[in-house]
Amino acid sequence: MATSKAAVFDLGGVLIHWDPRLLYRKLLPTEAAVEQFLSTVCTPEWNAQQDAGRPLDEGIAELVTRLPDQAALIEAWRDRVAEMVHPISDSVELLGELRERDVPLYVLSNWGTDEFEAIRGLFPFLAWFRGILISGSVRLVKPDPQIFALLVREHQLHPAQVAFIDDHPPNVAAARRLGFQSVLFTSPADLRQELVRLGLL
């Protein structure tokens, strides 16, 4: 196994905890109401369209047109997006250690462009990356091989020398097929062991 010389991180679930329940628990009276809203209104399928490049305002407008009685809750997705996220501190600590060792760091993440720009300033560690590739900006989403190819091309990476870290097994499998040294993120402690194994820490 070749020693890794760079690291590519997913964001949500690895460095940033993202969960719309964090917001909607403040807005709805019960956990059941939260789950009902997120399974029937602002659904994962709806959110995935923003990840794939649809502007958030367009997605909001489409829902509000169909469900005007839910307008305030739908619009909160845009207006209070910062309340859905917080850093995964132990992962950020590992990222800092990689930075101290001058490991080239990159992001490849499925995220809507508007949502990402709205929360970007909350996370100073995002300035540590040499490149950030967000799915909504390029209208490609993991595990599509084309988004990995774009990352490689834009930053002149050699996949066999790159650790790719993601919490979603299909993305990890796709990266592995393309020659990356793929790591399935399960916890910061396990990630530390993997980074040591790959020669990055």
* Tens of pLDDT, residues 105-163: 999 999 999 999 999 999 999 999 999 999 999 999 999 999 999 999 999 999 999 99
Mean of pLDDT values over 94-109: 98
Mean pLDDT over the full length of the chain: 97
* Alpha-carbon span 140 to 166, nearest angstrom: 16
Predicted confidence at residue 2, as pLDDT, reads 58
Structural fold of domain 6-17+85-197: Rossmann fold (3.40.50)
Domain spans in the chain, listed from the N-terminal domain onward = 6-17+85-197, 19-84
pLDDT at 182 over 90: yes
Predicted confidence at residue 3, as pLDDT, reads 67
pTM of the model: 0.94
Predicted confidence at residue 4, as pLDDT, reads 77
The CA-CA-CA angle for residues 76, 167, 153, to 5°, reads 95
pLDDT at 1 over 90: no
- Which DSSP category does 53 fall into? T
Percent of the chain with pLDDT over 70: 99
Predicted confidence at residue 45, as pLDDT, reads 97
pLDDT digits (tens, 9 = 90+) for 48-87: 999 999 999 999 999 999 999 999 999 999 999 999 999 9
What 3-state DSSP class applies to 199? coil
Read off φ and ψ for residue 16, nearest 5 degrees: -125, 125
* Alpha-carbon span 42 to 59, nearest angstrom: 9
- Position of tokens 């299909």? 170
Cβ-proximal residues to 130 (8 Å cutoff; 6+ apart), any chain: 104, 105, 106, 155
Strand runs (DSSP E) across the chain, as ranges? 6-9, 16-18, 85-87, 105-109, 131-134, 162-166, 181-184
Q: Nearest-CA neighbor of 183 among 167, 201, 165?
A: 165
